[in-house]
Structure 1
Amino acid sequence: MTKVLVVVTNNHRFGDLKRATGLWLSESVHFHAVMAENKIDVDYVSPKGGYVPLDPGSLADMDDLTWKFYDNADFRNQYLAQSLAPKDVNPTAYDAIFFAGGHGVLWDFPNNPDLAKLADAIHQNGGVTAAVCHGVVGLLGLHGTDGQALIAGKQVAGFSNEEETINQLTDAVPFLTEDALIKAGGQYTSSPAYTEHVVVDGKLVTGQNPQSAKGVAEAVVKLLAK
């Protein structure tokens, strides 16, 4: 059976600021819903395992699909309250890995050795690697089958500097996602702020913002069907 690993954050605040953050819920559930529609199982993993904090902003204006998941006690208890820890995950069981976003990931995704070990194994086994919005920083520190940086020379998308400026959070984050992708050798492209933008380069799929989560999922399904 085809199976996908969804990576989510454990980080609940903006560094030393008294400002809450976490997973941007719609990014995981819009992806999750497409997998479910295609009878693809998912598991959620986080850097430490266990509880997954939610960004308050992602709960402020939820669409019907996000409410459907959030209203489901089984979803909350299994995926958000008891995410897997990396040590409990066998990467050979998964055909793809997807890094969901939310500002929380800027602190616990980049160059995380435990997440990188899982993601590199899935990629080297021929799996698909995907990410959306701030979640693309989980790609930093990953490697291709040639041992080089996974995104070096690859077409990539991710949360833009323009979008961070609109958020008025440029000075609150440890680094800007767009800048980090470019510094790592990614060939960054973007669309106008908060419009869907999905980029596929081989078995690497990236999306710019929350509006791109469904499109990323659909692209992953197409690659898994090949």
Structure 2
Amino acid sequence: MKKVLMALTNVDHYLEHPERKTGVWLEEAASFYDVLTKNGFEVVFASTNGGPIPIDPASADVSENIQKIVDSEKFSQGMKGSIPFEKIDPKEYAAIYFCGGHGAMWDFPKNEKLIDLAETIYSNGGYIASVCHGEAGLVNLKDADGKPLVQGKKVNGFTNEEEKLNGTDQMVPLSPENELIKDGADFVKGDPYTEFAVEDQRLITGQNPMSVHKVAEMLSAALK
């Protein structure tokens, strides 16, 4: 059974605005897990520090189907006991998925262990996927030649426009869209808050929470 690493944030609040809570966007973890496991893949939960994963309170009100996944024993165990990135062997994984939630913007971009995991999985012929703010994990990735991994590739994620509509554009530590464009990516996008995903050279990226199911299906098909 092929293994897929789900990278999750441990950050539970906006670091410059502690009153504003964040974490993982619940559906982006649950829907991805559901699709991948139903397609026969093992999904391993991992994070910077390991242990419990914070859930963005704004994402806690989910559909009945998503709630069933959230309440399932294996998903619940994964969210309560994620494995630290430093204990993950990248050679065991066919893909890594950067799960979104605003928290990822603080602990993904400069996380050397996470960067090493993603670069190794990709260099071994594996896939990198992301949804929404999981795009922060694509920032600072390099290819075997030391060039930005996204250079010349179509990618997307939560857009500057969506961040502004969300009222958080002045609260986040960086603009992943700007950073990826700066690294030479072809940042493509759909309309705000609509499903949109793109695949290019073993990178599969989705724009927002509405796109997670599509990204999961695209990754499942690619890994088969």
- Secondary structure of the equivalent of 1:39? coil
- 1:82 aligned partner: 81
- Secondary structure of the equivalent of 2:21? coil
Asked if 1:113 corresponds to 2:80, the answer is: no
Aligned-pair identity in percent equals 42
Name the CA distance, whole Å, in 2 between partners of 1:166 and 1:187.
Answer: 22
- Secondary structure of the equivalent of 1:6? strand
Deviation at 1:73, TM superposition (A): 4.2
Name the CA distance, whole Å, in 2 between partners of 1:111 and 1:207.
Answer: 21
Runs of 4+ residues deviating >4 angstroms = none
Name the CA distance, whole Å, in 2 between partners of 1:91 and 1:156.
Answer: 23
- 2:33 aligned partner: 32
Consecutive unaligned residues of structure 1, counting only runs of 5 or more, are none
Name the CA distance, whole Å, in 1 between partners of 2:186 and 2:37.
Answer: 31
Deviation at 1:188, TM superposition (A): 0.5
Q: Which has the larger strand fraction?
A: 2
Name the CA distance, whole Å, in 1 between partners of 2:185 and 2:111.
Answer: 19
Deviation at 1:187, TM superposition (A): 0.8
- 1:167 aligned partner: 166
The TM-score normalised by the length of structure 1 is 0.95
Deviation at 1:69, TM superposition (A): 2.0
**Equivalent position amino acid for 2:127 in 1:** V
**Cα distance change, pair 74–40 in 1 and its aligned pair in 2 (3 A):** closer
Moved more, 94-103 or 181-190: 181-190
1:195-214 alignment, distance < 5 Å: 195-214=194-213
- 1:98 aligned partner: 97
Q: Does the aligned pair in 2 maintain the 1:50–1:81 contact within 8 Å?
A: yes
The TM-score normalised by the length of structure 2 is 0.96
- 1:36-88 deviation per Cα after TM superposition (whole angstroms, max 9, x unaligned): 111100101111111210001111x3122321122224422x21111000121
Name the CA distance, whole Å, in 2 between partners of 1:111 and 1:143.
Answer: 13
Q: CA RMSD in A?
A: 1.2
1:176-215 alignment, distance < 5 Å: 176-215=175-214
Q: Does the aligned pair in 2 maintain the 1:111–1:142 contact within 8 Å?
A: no
**Equivalent position amino acid for 1:62 in 2:** V
- 2:124 aligned partner: 125
Count of equivalent residues: 223
Q: Does the aligned pair in 1 maintain the 2:16–2:171 contact within 8 Å?
A: no
Consecutive unaligned residues of structure 2, counting only runs of 5 or more, are none
- 1:168-192 deviation per Cα after TM superposition (whole angstroms, max 9, x unaligned): 1111111223222212221101111
Q: Does the aligned pair in 2 maintain the 1:30–1:65 contact within 8 Å?
A: no
Moved more, 138-147 or 90-99: 138-147
Asked if 1:16 corresponds to 2:16, the answer is: yes
Moved more, 100-109 or 164-173: 164-173
Deviation at 1:210, TM superposition (A): 0.4
Name the CA distance, whole Å, in 1 between partners of 2:176 and 2:163.
Answer: 9
- Secondary structure of the equivalent of 1:129? strand
- 1:104-139 deviation per Cα after TM superposition (whole angstroms, max 9, x unaligned): 001000021010111111111110111110001101
